[in-house]
């Protein structure tokens, strides 16, 4: 039986994949359009593990939540060859196998793949729940894409009620939420937390930080770097994180310590991003490799004095011009790295790497 949307609205559930849009409104519009449902369990962001956690530990709840949406057909999306795909197939569910590429699990890319086209983001002239066309020109049926955790929360709200859900988090961002914490912490893994907690308390869920933490990344490649000195002054909420240009995002947190050069870390991540283009729009095909090359010059200490300024200007050309928001995310990620790791970049320009003196570049 379909869930009463007033119950979902009263709970205030928003998407747990980073969109933070009202789930009740999404489901309501999807019902009006006779949409199908894709449950996204891909863990598409770097270091993300929470979708796998949800399917491993709460699959029955997810199936119940999917049924409560009242949508006519449910498909579960998972990266090919993963434990998540195996578990979904073993449960006899309809599975959409997704290539293990960064943009392949973007919502419109899943819809494209679901209709027999490539897993590439679609130009959203219309909402996915209204139908549209794939990059190959094929017509698509109306489809709603919800993250696996979001579907889990739908079931919990139906069973425990909106008041229970709102007993977690803040008035603006209610409910429990999962987060993957990796890097320089004592016990990396997936933890349940809530909005409004001190950021340091969220880190303590993973046993606390290891010595020598330099910075925190929130949101992965689509996220932001935060200097370690700011962690104790921030809360895990959109309002607080916005003061350092960050968001709650897809629930991914990574702590970086002195054992790894932060500049080299960013370089490697940008090199990865440059190779993950869907190959269909200029900002991805040409912009991301150019950003990666520019940053690699800074990391090697071979960039001209104005290289950082030129890179910042290039980042401005990425925003709002892609078929999806991948270039936008990379622009924000890189800009924050330039700000947080300014001293390290200056050291690289001078021919040495702080904390890694054996790696003198010239």
d(CA 69, CA 157): 12
Return the higher-pLDDT residue of 133 and 273: 273
Per-residue model confidence (pLDDT) at position 184: 98
Indicate if the pLDDT at residue 352 is higher than 90. Answer: no
> What tokens were used for 236?
């895990």
* Of 278 and 16, more confident: 16
131-144 pLDDT, tens digit per residue, is 877 777 778 899 99
Cα–Cα dist 203/256, whole Å: 12
Identify whether the C-beta of residue 213 lies closer than 8 Å to the C-beta of residue 256.
yes
CATH topology assigned to domain 177-257: Ubiquitin-like (UB roll) (3.10.20)
- 263-275 burial, b for 16+ CB within 10 Å, e for fewer? bbbbbebbeebbe
Return the DSSP state at 121: P
Bridging pattern class, strands 213-218 and 143-147? unpaired
At residue 212, φ and ψ (nearest 5 deg) are 80, 25
Classify residue 18 by burial, with Cβ atoms within 10 Å: 0-12, 13-18, 19+.
buried
Look at residues 325, 324, 313 and name the one whose alpha carbon lies nearest to residue 222.
Answer: 325
| Under 8 Å between Cβ of 218 and 241 | yes
Residue 85 contacts residue 78 (beta carbons within 8 Å): yes
- Cα–Cα nearest to 175, from 58, 67, 14: 14
**Residue for token digits 């200490």?**
301
| Global pTM exceeds 0.95 | no
Higher pLDDT: 166 or 72? It is 166
Spatial distance between the Cα atoms of 74 and 55, rounded to a whole number of angstroms: 15
Give me the mean pLDDT over the 273-293 stretch: 85
User: What is the C-alpha to C-alpha distance for residues 299 and 124, in angstroms, rounded to an integer?
Assistant: 36
Check residue 180 and give its pLDDT: 98
Tell me whether the CATH fold assigned to 177-257 matches the one assigned to 262-349.
no
Domain coordinates in residue numbering, the chain: 5-164, 177-257, 262-349
Question: What residues contact 32, with CB distance under 8 A and at least 6 apart?
Answer: none
DSSP state of 267: H
Buried b (16+ CB within 10 A) or exposed e, 19-51: beebbbebbbbbbebebbbbbbbbbbbbbbbbb
Whether the per-residue pLDDT at 357 is higher than 70: the answer is no
Q: Give residue 355's pLDDT band: very low, low, confident or very high (50, 70, 90).
A: confident
Cβ neighbours of residue 63 closer than 8 Å, sequence gap 6 or more: 91, 93
Q: pLDDT confidence of 360, banded at 50, 70, 90?
A: very low
pLDDT of 178-237, one tens digit each? 999 999 999 999 999 999 999 999 999 999 999 999 999 999 999 999 999 999 999 999
> What values do phi and psi take at 250, rounded to 5?
-85, 10
CATH class of the 5-164 domain in this structure: alpha beta
123 in Cβ contact with 298 (< 8 Å): no
- The CATH number, out of the four listed (3.40.50.970, 3.60.20.10, 1.20.1440.230, 2.130.10.10), of the domain defined by the range 262-349: 1.20.1440.230
The rounded distance, in Å, linking the Cα atoms of 192 and 180 is: 9
For 241-254, how does the pLDDT look when each residue is reduced to its tens digit (9 = 90+)?
999 999 999 999 99
The conformation of residue 217, written as its DSSP 8-state character, comes to: E
State how far the Cα of 157 lies from the Cα of 7, in Å rounded to an integer. 8
The pLDDT of residue 361 = 52
338, 316 contact by CB (below 8 A):
no
């Amino acid at each position: 039986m379909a869930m009463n949307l007033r119950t979902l609205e009263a709970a205030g559930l928003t998407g747990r994949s980073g969109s933070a849009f009202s789930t009740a409104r999404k489901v309501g519009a999807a019902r009006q359009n006779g949409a199908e449902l894709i449950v996204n369990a891909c863990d598409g962001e770097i270091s993300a593990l929470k979708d796998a956690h949800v399917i491993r530990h709460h699959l029955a709840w997810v199936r119940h939540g999917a049924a409560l949406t009242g949508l006519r057909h449910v498909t579960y999306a998972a990266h090919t060859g993963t434990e998540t795909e195996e578990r979904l197939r073993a449960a006899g569910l309809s599975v959409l196998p997704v290539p293990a590429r960064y943009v392949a699990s973007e919502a419109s890319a899943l819809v494209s793949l679901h209709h027999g086209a490539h897993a590439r983001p679609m130009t959203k002239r219309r909402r996915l729940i209204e139908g549209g066309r794939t990059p190959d020109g094929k017509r698509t049926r109306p489809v709603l894409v919800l993250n696996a955790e979001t579907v889990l929360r739908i079931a919990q709200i139906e069973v425990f009620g909106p008041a229970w859900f709102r007993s977690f988090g803040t008035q603006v961002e209610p409910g429990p939420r999962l987060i993957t914490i990796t890097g320089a912490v004592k016990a990396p893994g997936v933890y349940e937390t809530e909005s409004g907690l001190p950021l340091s308390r969220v880190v303590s869920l993973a046993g606390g930080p290891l010595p020598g933490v330099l910075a925190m990344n929130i949101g992965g490649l689509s996220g932001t770097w935060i200097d370690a000195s700011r962690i104790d002054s921030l809360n895990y909420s959109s309002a607080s994180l916005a003061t350092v240009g960050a968001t709650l995002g897809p629930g991914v947190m990574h702590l970086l310590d002195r054992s790894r050069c932060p500049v080299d870390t960013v370089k490697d991540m940008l090199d990865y991003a440059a190779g993950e283009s869907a190959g269909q729009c200029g900002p991805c095909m040409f912009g991301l490799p150019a950003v990666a090359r520019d940053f690699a010059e800074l990391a090697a200490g071979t960039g001209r004095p104005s290289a950082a300024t030129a890179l910042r200007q290039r980042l401005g050309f990425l925003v709002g011009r892609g078929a999806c928001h991948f270039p936008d995310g990379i622009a924000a990620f890189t800009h924050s790295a330039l700000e947080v790791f300014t001293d390290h970049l200056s050291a690289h320009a001078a021919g040495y790497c702080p904390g890694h003196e054996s790696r003198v570049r010239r």
